[in-house]
Structure 1
Amino acid sequence: MAGGQLQVLSALDSAKTQLYHFTAIIIAGMGFFTDAYDLFSISLVTKLLGRIYYYEPGSSTPGSLPPNVSAAVNGVAFCGALSGQLFFGWLGDKMGRKKVYGMTLMLMVICCIASGLSLGSSAKGVMATLCFFRFWLGFGIGGDYPLSATIMSEYANKKTRGAFIAAVFAMQGFGNLTGGVVALIVSAAFRAKYKAPAYDVDPLASTPPESDYVWRIILMFGAVPALITYYWRMKMPETARYTALVAKNAKKAAADMTTVLQTDLEEDANKAEKLFNSRDQFGLFSKEFLRRHGLHLMGTTVCWFVLDIAFYSQNLFQKDIFSAVGWLPKAKTMSALEELFKIARAQSLVALCGTIPGYWFTVAFIDIIGRFFIQLMGFFMMTAFMLGLAIPYHHWTTKGNHIGFVVMYAFTFFFANFGPNTTTFIVPAEIFPARLRSTCHGISSAAGKAGSIVGSFGFLYAAQSTDPAQTDPGYPTGIGVRNTLFVLAGCNLIGLIFTFFVPEAKGKSLEEASGENEEEVIEAESSYNHAEPV
């Protein structure tokens, strides 16, 4: 490197894969495991909440959440996450990654438990309390995004950095699957103890009072993995790149990493000072940042925004889509706990067959074929599969073709995760300077959460354009789902176009990828050009 590189950063870039890498993946990854569990477990229990709190005695149909209540319950955590990403992203660059990391986790633990304990004297009271705590749960989850990505990128070596960050993000798939499995276990346990008839057999007995425990247990379980991880997060040292490049204490960075890397590291204070002085310390709102990284930030934010419109719409409302195409029976033919069991089973199958494999394909190939190609391919394939679902939609809803629909639907998840859902998380942690890395990742991920809010609220109203002949209010009609699939395909096409604004970081050190050494290169070239001939 032209101006010379700090020894500790060079050591991190060239370090062989060892135990501390896997430890960091597990510690950061368990946060994402919890994030996914908490965000998506709510979609499993919304129909149960409708049956418990909004059933009207004498009605010919099971209770369901009103559209505005359903939108609030599903979407409020995303509003909190957006705020948390911006706030904790900024705080991570001001206070350090480690100090802020513990705050987000404890907030998640407290709000998970509080969500399950939501009480009230009326249905509106319970829903209002639930939404309040899920907002602050989302706030903690939001902080986990920029901090986990930044910490993992700053710990990793440049050869396998993409795979390490992707492995952290891939824990989302296991969190999603675990949400389904926990719902299966809890609903099966209560079904075995309290045999409830289908709604059309006995409406009053189809939702036993014990159902109120089920959704609370499912939501509160999310605190368990977060609580287990807290101790290990607090034992992690601050990242060397933050300590050296932001706090400008290269000696402490070397001392911290001596233990982690199990090798002797010592920095020359004079060399470090010259290196810091040679770098342009421009701020986020400066013309220099706009010149160097303006298009990059636009690329990461737009791609994440449109991706999350599609991805979270699919995740939160896949139960409605399965109902619309007839893969799930009508609510009237099931008891409340049986309906929960079948929704959880369907969601678990999609996670197992489509979501998780996609994540791990990215882990395997991202440092071989690069971030750019995977993101471009993912957006293209998601567009193709969604059009393949939408154009012949009435064919898929015909009896006997449901399995084909579910297979193609699972492929959209596969290519979301072996594609932009993972790369949009990785790239912002690599292409921005250390002093702005967490902030820029927070801005990018907040754009994604804005997309998830659009997806969760927009899809709900589009898909619940009910047909007067529909016997199950709350189940979307074919018209609403089909049009929504066309819109989501368009979002993916926009993401494909804006991928061209995002640079490739494969095989580069963070300083090379972010351009932090640009001033050093210019200075070195200037010195060379003005040197006297030998």
Structure 2
Amino acid sequence: MWKISAQVLISTVRGAHVRQSLCSAWTGSGAAPSREHTTQDVTARSRALGPIRSYPPPLLSFLVLHDRLPFASARMGSACKTSAVYKAPPFPCLLHPLCFPPRLNHPDVMSVYEKRNGAPAVDPGELRGGLEDFEKDDLSKPPFILNWTEIKLIGIAGVGFFLDAYDLFIINQVTSMLQWRFYGGKSLPSTLSGLVKAAANIGSVIGQVSFGIMGDYFGRKAMYGKELMIIIVATILCISAPSSVGGDGVLIWLSVWRIVLGIGVGADYPMSASVTSDRAIIRKRGSLLCYIFANQGWGSFVGSLVTMIVLACYKGVLDNNDSANWSKTDGIWRIIVGLALIPAFGTLYQRLTLPESVRYTRAIQHLPPPVDASLAAKGLLPDGSVENGNGDLENGNGVKSVPAAVDTRPGFKQTYDAEGNPIARENPDVVALEEVDHANVDKNIIAANQRHHWKEFRQYFGQWRHLKILIGTTCCWFLLDIAFYGINLNTNLILTAMGLGGSTGTAWNRLFQVATGNLIVTALGFVPGYYVSVLTIEYIGRKPIQIMGFAMTSLMLALLAGLFSRLDHGGFIALFTFLQFFFNFGANTTTFIYPVEVFPTKYRATAHGISAACGKCGAIAASFGFNSLVGPIGTANVLWIFFGVSILGIPFTFLLPETKDRDPDVILAEEEKAGLAPV
């Protein structure tokens, strides 16, 4: 007889109703289930919870194979909204043909272990009811549709980019307020103004390179969260600037601690990008990275909104020309800067406790990369590979390809027991993506990885086919940031030309106009550009978007420069909005994504840190260069320089491959087999 070890999932719903469902089963000929409570234990639990209904065989369509595929019951548990899980003793029963969800049994999606043990398949169209909806194959969903685990990851990893853009916006507001506080509304000293704006970018270069290197060398878990601690400390010290030292003293104080702040913000680039890419399913990786990077748009938007709200609170004392009240701006800028501490503290614990990823753990042990189910379904892993008798993948010609590895489908909360430990699988090699936080990597393996890391890194990038890609990512990011930060670090000048720069009126009116102008541009162009990238990147691809982005920003800059003195306010707003839109639906997004998608896991953080640091070097050049050149040659001619820089980004993009559906770890494994890469 078939035996079934069933879990009874009991959930309290509205009112006094109780929903009880059988949610998992083990099938086998006389095989005893692996983890089961005694009959007495279950009886005691049942008495405490009340009678358990019996279900006739036709209603067993809610069964999933728990012991062999424990992550299946997690999905069912979520569907039933369970609050507790109990295992009943085995009892004989007939198996209903709808026991097997299509996602777990589709021949293109099943893990290596499932195929090896002959898991039964079922036509997905046979499923009915709520389970059918809940177990709908993820491969049929658009890549920008996220599950709860991915949403949480966006919240944890996205805060650094939120703070980066928040800081980028508010520094313009802070310098404007300091003009009224210490310089009577006149311009700041050009050298100090450039320094305070460039300070965070200077620190970012240090943070990106150092944390990128350490993220690969010591591991993501060892370093992640430390960058947020740096941001918190630096922010507190920034708002502690003593007014008694005068205007120049405050600017120097801010510059010093903004360099430290920049180290934390810069460190977040390689760390959050690597943490996300390590955990992402290949078919959704680009969209997930776009979602995280889109937090820059929200940072700029919230920065504008917060400034307007705080200014509105001070309207009564600043909305006049009484210079005696200008000192009130001292409190305004400190409040605006200090509010950045809220999201920083809100995600610090989650970052410090985030587990190591499967990909990184396997990479440092020189184990085969995880097999991505979404690529297997498309026949891209690689060349339509199938498993042979030795556990290796072979292509259609029988040529050995990549060794069989692990299932990368994400786990869920219910795959863990009450103590937070993962429920063991029958085959220890088949693990869910999130279960690696409990994997014990031998310290000797970590030490060996550290000893050989730099040798392997030099060997890898010593080959032109890899070095040219690094040159492409660094140069594209450098050229992009010259134009992007040259514009966005000096929005006050651009907004003045648009009639939104606050060139007339009281101190309050001028500051409020600048905040309003930024809010309009951010809402119309900045944020939408990010989300168009989210929706299209897995369909269009990275390379076409980057080329299109450089081309369109060049066009917008040429129009702004050529028509600078002739445009009316409406035309200026339209062109500037489109410029911001194509920055973000273009190279600003793809230059961030490329390094974490094109390089293998063991070198990913370092390569991303180097690429991002080159980008920040462009931002530093722009922050100093704009202020130095706008006086002698005029704003229009500076925009022509940005036009030329954007055009140069197009040829460098051709050094880069398309990374859509590309797994760099699989490529590295193939190169190692062929003797083309360090082992």
Structure 2 length normalisation: TM-score? 0.66
**Residue 378, structure 1, aligned to residue 524, structure 2:** no
Distance 1:443 1:244 in 2: 23
**By how many angstroms is 1:496 displaced?**
1.1
**One of 471, 496, 501 as aligned partner of 1:323:** 496
Distance 1:32 1:435 in 2: 23
**By how many angstroms is 1:292 displaced?**
3.1
Equivalent residues of 1:313, 1:459 under 8 A apart = yes
**One of 471, 475, 481 as aligned partner of 1:302:** 475
Aligned positions of 1:77-476 closer than 5 A: 77-119=200-242, 120-192=244-316, 194-198=317-321, 202=322, 204-205=323-324, 207-247=325-365, 262=415, 264=425, 266-267=428-429, 283-286=456-459, 289-330=462-503, 333-396=504-567, 401-465=568-632
AA at the equivalent of 2:249: G
**Cα-to-partner distance string for 1:486-506 (whole Å, 9 max, x where unaligned):** 000111101111000111110
**One of 643, 657, 669 as aligned partner of 1:503:** 657
Residue 506 of structure 1 aligns to a residue whose secondary structure is: coil
Which runs of no fewer than 5 residues in structure 1 stay unpaired?
9-13, 56-61, 466-478, 525-534
Distance 1:435 1:492 in 2: 32
**Residue 65, structure 1, aligned to residue 188, structure 2:** yes
Structure 1 length normalisation: TM-score? 0.83
**Cα-to-partner distance string for 1:46-86 (whole Å, 9 max, x where unaligned):** 1111221123xxxxxx3221101110111111000011000
**Residue 31, structure 1, aligned to residue 164, structure 2:** no
Equivalent residues of 1:428, 1:440 under 8 A apart = yes
**Cα-to-partner distance string for 1:447-467 (whole Å, 9 max, x where unaligned):** 0000100111111122234xx
Structure 1 residues 180, 267: CA separation in 2 closer, same or farther (over 3 Å shift)? Answer: same
**Cα-to-partner distance string for 1:507-528 (whole Å, 9 max, x where unaligned):** 122424xx3122355379xxxx
AA at the equivalent of 2:429: E
Residue 658 of structure 2 aligns to a residue whose secondary structure is: coil
Distance 1:408 1:482 in 2: 14
**By how many angstroms is 1:329 displaced?**
4.2
Pick which of 293-302 and 22-31 moved more: 22-31
Equivalent residues of 1:299, 1:499 under 8 A apart = yes
Structure 1 residues 520, 294: CA separation in 2 closer, same or farther (over 3 Å shift)? Answer: closer
**By how many angstroms is 1:357 displaced?**
0.2
AA at the equivalent of 1:348: L
Residue 243 of structure 1 aligns to a residue whose secondary structure is: helix
**One of 40, 43, 47 as aligned partner of 2:176:** 47
**By how many angstroms is 1:45 displaced?**
1.9
Equivalent residues of 1:52, 1:63 under 8 A apart = no
Aligned position for 1:517: 669
**By how many angstroms is 1:41 displaced?**
1.2
Number of residue pairs the alignment of both structures matches: 476
Equivalent residues of 1:304, 1:445 under 8 A apart = yes
**By how many angstroms is 1:222 displaced?**
1.1
AA at the equivalent of 2:341: A
**Cα-to-partner distance string for 1:419-468 (whole Å, 9 max, x where unaligned):** 00000000100111211110000000000000100111111122234xxx
**By how many angstroms is 1:21 displaced?**
1.5
Structure 1 residues 248, 324: CA separation in 2 closer, same or farther (over 3 Å shift)? Answer: same
AA at the equivalent of 2:669: N
Distance 1:94 1:212 in 2: 43
Equivalent residues of 2:212, 2:267 under 8 A apart = yes
Distance 2:309 2:430 in 1: 58
Equivalent residues of 1:33, 1:174 under 8 A apart = yes
Residue 122 of structure 1 aligns to a residue whose secondary structure is: helix
AA at the equivalent of 2:193: S
Distance 2:505 2:457 in 1: 55
Distance 1:224 1:156 in 2: 27
Aligned position for 1:531: none
**Cα-to-partner distance string for 1:324-369 (whole Å, 9 max, x where unaligned):** 3444342xx3222222211111111111100000000000000001
Which runs of no fewer than 5 residues in structure 2 stay unpaired?
1-110, 115-136, 140-145, 371-404, 416-422, 432-440
Distance 1:182 1:364 in 2: 28
| Structure with greater helix percent | 1
Residue 657 of structure 2 aligns to a residue whose secondary structure is: coil
Residue 327 of structure 2 aligns to a residue whose secondary structure is: coil
Residue 660 of structure 2 aligns to a residue whose secondary structure is: coil
**By how many angstroms is 1:176 displaced?**
0.7
**Cα-to-partner distance string for 1:189-231 (whole Å, 9 max, x where unaligned):** 0113x15324xxx5x24x5321110011111111111110111
Aligned position for 1:483: 637
AA at the equivalent of 2:512: F
Equivalent residues of 1:386, 1:412 under 8 A apart = yes
Distance 2:369 2:647 in 1: 48
Distance 1:347 1:249 in 2: 49
**By how many angstroms is 1:98 displaced?**
2.1
Structure 1 residues 108, 288: CA separation in 2 closer, same or farther (over 3 Å shift)? Answer: closer
Structure 1 residues 410, 106: CA separation in 2 closer, same or farther (over 3 Å shift)? Answer: same
Of structures 1 and 2, the larger Rg is shown by 2
Equivalent residues of 1:38, 1:112 under 8 A apart = no
**Cα-to-partner distance string for 1:357-395 (whole Å, 9 max, x where unaligned):** 000000000000100000000000000111011112221
Distance 1:379 1:246 in 2: 37
Equivalent residues of 1:163, 1:366 under 8 A apart = yes
Pick which of 152-161 and 45-54 moved more: 45-54
CA RMSD of aligned residues (A): 3.0
AA at the equivalent of 2:631: Q
Distance 2:490 2:537 in 1: 29
Identity %: 37
Structure 1 residues 43, 390: CA separation in 2 closer, same or farther (over 3 Å shift)? Answer: same
Residue 281 of structure 2 aligns to a residue whose secondary structure is: coil
AA at the equivalent of 2:467: G
Equivalent residues of 1:93, 1:435 under 8 A apart = yes
Higher relative contact order (CA 8 A, sep 6+): 1
**By how many angstroms is 1:248 displaced?**
5.3
**By how many angstroms is 1:150 displaced?**
0.8
